[in-house]
Structure 1
Amino acid sequence: MKFNGTIIGIGILAGLASALMSAGVIAQTGAMAGVAMVLYFLTPLPIFVVALGWGSSAGIVAAAAATIAMGAAASPMVALLMALTSFIPAATGAYLSGLARPAEELGGPKGILVWYPLSDIVFRLALMVAISFVIIGAILGFGPDMARELANTIIDRVAEADPQFTAGDDIRDNVTALLMIALPAIQPAMCLAVLVGNLYLAQRLISISGRVRRPRDDWPATLRMPRPALIVFAVALAAAFLPGGIGLVATVVAGVLSAGFAMAGLAIMHFRTRGKVWRPVALWLAYVAIVLFAFLLFIVMVLGLFDTSRGAPVSKIPGADNQ
């Protein structure tokens, strides 16, 4: 890693852009709320772009600048939450994307670089997101009491919108139980999906700009979860049924890994339909069906469980032909 004026300046600009995009969802209401939400989901993009194009040091500067800016514009707690779920994972994912080693060290030919596999990047991002949400849950004190409070808030909002709606203790208990399962699983899963989506967009943007160092990944062919992820997922799924904090932590891990396997399943769909005349229609119908019937994501996730292959892009070592 190296730091100079250019890298620091570009990193600060990218960090400020990320902070501005994430702060918009806090400040905007009404008609602009939808635009602010879209920008919020793109929060990691500037950090990914600057780290992939100008190096990991620029990504570190961007993550630090974004965290400091959020702390000044909002609050230290908001800055910590954004750093754990967006800024730091983006810088880490870009750092992993920039790792490569000579193929000769792996028993391959001379003059070839093997880049860090996309499957391992997604797996490590998933683990990082899981750790982040466990830390956030511990800080916020997530548990039955908080879930009950959230359930009461949701039910009260529904009652305000529909005065005829009444909810007894049974309904409140059921909503509380649902939130205890859904929140620890869904939030990390969505976070991982956003990070991976932004990594994909950043790689495309950098390849267009010509600053790309890593060869373009064949996402449909290589977006998989590695075999260790399958083992961790199985253990987490079993432990999720345990009571107390262990069960909550396991639910977080199972939730975020399920998102990884679901994305792998979608990639398999894209890969298996390559070259088919009916591919656009089939993929369009598949995505519409998933949007309308969310339970179909479970089938897609199961599809991802059956392919744990690892593929890595390769490139020539600069100057290798002259040696």
Structure 2
Amino acid sequence: MKLTGTDIGVGVLAGLAAALLSIGLANQSIIGFLLVLFTPLPIFIAALGWGTITGFIAAATMTIAVYVISPSLDAVADILLMAVPAATGAYFIGLARPAAEIGGPKDVFVWYPLADTLLRLCLVIAVGVIIIGALIGEAQMSALVQAVTKQMNETNPQLAANPEVGQLLVRIMLRLMPIIASAAFVMSIVANLYVALRITAAAGKLQRPRDDWPRALRLPRPALVIFAIACAMAFLPGAPGYVGSTVAGAVGAGFSMAGFAMLHARSRGATWRPFALWFAYTCALIFSFTLIIFLLAGLFDTSRNAPVSKAEIKTPPNNDN
């Protein structure tokens, strides 16, 4: 892929846009929080529409900009949990190879499976959360949880009257924080990827053929082994337990999304589809434990669907797969 001035300019502008979105949380408002959720979107659009190198330029520009604006741990979190996953996801989405290399027909490209991309996103985000946790330190994280527990005690006198329950709550929250954080970032990144694919496709800039997400959003079979090992490690004390919890949360979120995708696929054309989808998502928002049902469903389907396209004059953004 030949890099042009337009590609560089788009990458720089996308990186600056992502940096501006990332500081929305400083406003401490609902709108600011929502803006932060869309931080990876400009990087995805730049990479998918103008090439992976443009996406890396956008990620690098965001990295520089956030350090200039706010050289703190928040900037490191933005880079590790927003910029790096976005650039990584766009890279794999742009990978393709001639089908003839794997025994397929000539003049056809086979694109990197969405399932494999999802697994790599889960692992990249898990690594980012682990690094952030190491930088924060267990003492600071415990102090943060203690502060939250103190506020809960002030609003609930019965909880304050029982310090043993309060300490148990602190330990539970410390265990759940890496799981919740990694799962939330995985879902956010995948949602941004989906929106970016739709935008670039509508603009005619996307070379990858459209994936059938309800059938393609799965995790590959190796994810089962990774998830099992991570769940076992989550019961260990100290750093190994933190690492296991983080990876389990990220990969578990991937399996949960696969479960929801299965519901979308199997309810196609059914009269009960709107009610089923509404009921499933409402239950997931109100009762978090219902996500386990979709996680278990995702465990039973580890298919890998790869889209294909006719080879044209243009080559894929990445054809070194």
| Partner of residue 23, structure 1 | 23
Determine whether 1:229 maps to 2:223. yes
| Partner of residue 212, structure 1 | 206
How far is the alpha carbon of 1:319 from its aligned partner? 4.9
| Partner of residue 8, structure 2 | 8
Within-5 A mapping of 1:241-256: 241-256=235-250
Stretch moving more, 148-157 or 232-241: 148-157
| Partner of residue 201, structure 1 | 195
Within-5 A mapping of 1:140-179: 140-141=136-137, 143=138, 145-161=139-155, 166-179=160-173
2: CA distance between counterparts of 1:167 and 1:76?
A: 38
How far is the alpha carbon of 1:69 from its aligned partner? 1.0
Determine whether 1:71 maps to 2:64. no
How far is the alpha carbon of 1:122 from its aligned partner? 0.4
1: CA distance between counterparts of 2:161 and 2:83?
A: 40
In structure 2, give the amino acid aligned to 1:201.
V
How far is the alpha carbon of 1:77 from its aligned partner? 2.8
| Partner of residue 104, structure 1 | 100
2: CA distance between counterparts of 1:3 and 1:319?
A: 17
For each residue in 1:16-44, what CA deviation from the matched residue of structure 2 results, as whole angstroms up to 9, or x when unmatched? 11111110111x14xxx111111110110
Determine whether 1:291 maps to 2:288. no
Conserved in 2, the CA contact under 8 Å of 1:2 and 1:57?
A: no
Determine whether 1:89 maps to 2:85. yes
1: CA distance between counterparts of 2:11 and 2:169?
A: 44
2: CA distance between counterparts of 1:298 and 1:130?
A: 19
| Partner of residue 258, structure 2 | 264
Stretch moving more, 176-185 or 85-94: 176-185
Conserved in 2, the CA contact under 8 Å of 1:118 and 1:311?
A: yes
The answer to which structure, 1 or 2, has the higher relative contact order (CA under 8 A, 6+ apart) is 2
Alignment partner of 1:318: what SS? coil
Within-5 A mapping of 1:49-68: 49-68=45-64
For each residue in 1:231-261, what CA deviation from the matched residue of structure 2 results, as whole angstroms up to 9, or x when unmatched? 1101111121112211111111111100000
Give the 3 Å change call, closer, same or farther, for CA 150–79 of structure 1 in structure 2. Answer: closer
Please give the TM-score of this superposition, normalised by the length of structure 1. 0.93
In structure 2, give the amino acid aligned to 1:66.
M
2: CA distance between counterparts of 1:167 and 1:252?
A: 32
Gaps of 5+ in 2: 315-321
Gaps of 5+ in 1: none
Conserved in 2, the CA contact under 8 Å of 1:85 and 1:132?
A: yes
Alignment partner of 1:226: what SS? coil
Conserved in 2, the CA contact under 8 Å of 1:262 and 1:298?
A: yes
Stretch moving more, 52-61 or 237-246: 237-246
Alignment partner of 2:245: what SS? helix
In structure 1, give the amino acid aligned to 2:191.
G
Give the 3 Å change call, closer, same or farther, for CA 2–173 of structure 1 in structure 2. Answer: farther
2: CA distance between counterparts of 1:305 and 1:311?
A: 16
For each residue in 1:95-117, what CA deviation from the matched residue of structure 2 results, as whole angstroms up to 9, or x when unmatched? 11100001111111111100000
Conserved in 2, the CA contact under 8 Å of 1:68 and 1:79?
A: no
Give the 3 Å change call, closer, same or farther, for CA 135–147 of structure 1 in structure 2. Answer: closer
2: CA distance between counterparts of 1:14 and 1:89?
A: 15
Conserved in 2, the CA contact under 8 Å of 1:44 and 1:86?
A: yes
Aligned-CA RMSD value: 1.6
Instruction: Give the % identical residues.
Output: 47
1: CA distance between counterparts of 2:144 and 2:275?
A: 41
Determine whether 1:282 maps to 2:276. yes
For each residue in 1:262-284, what CA deviation from the matched residue of structure 2 results, as whole angstroms up to 9, or x when unmatched? 00000000001111122112111
Alignment partner of 1:114: what SS? strand
Conserved in 1, the CA contact under 8 Å of 2:10 and 2:54?
A: yes
In structure 2, give the amino acid aligned to 1:6.
T
How far is the alpha carbon of 1:293 from its aligned partner? 1.6
Stretch moving more, 282-291 or 50-59: 282-291
In structure 1, give the amino acid aligned to 2:170.
T
Conserved in 1, the CA contact under 8 Å of 2:56 and 2:87?
A: yes
Alignment partner of 1:295: what SS? helix
Work out the number of aligned pairs and report it: 314
| Partner of residue 45, structure 1 | 41
In structure 1, give the amino acid aligned to 2:11.
G
2: CA distance between counterparts of 1:53 and 1:297?
A: 33
Determine whether 1:311 maps to 2:284. no
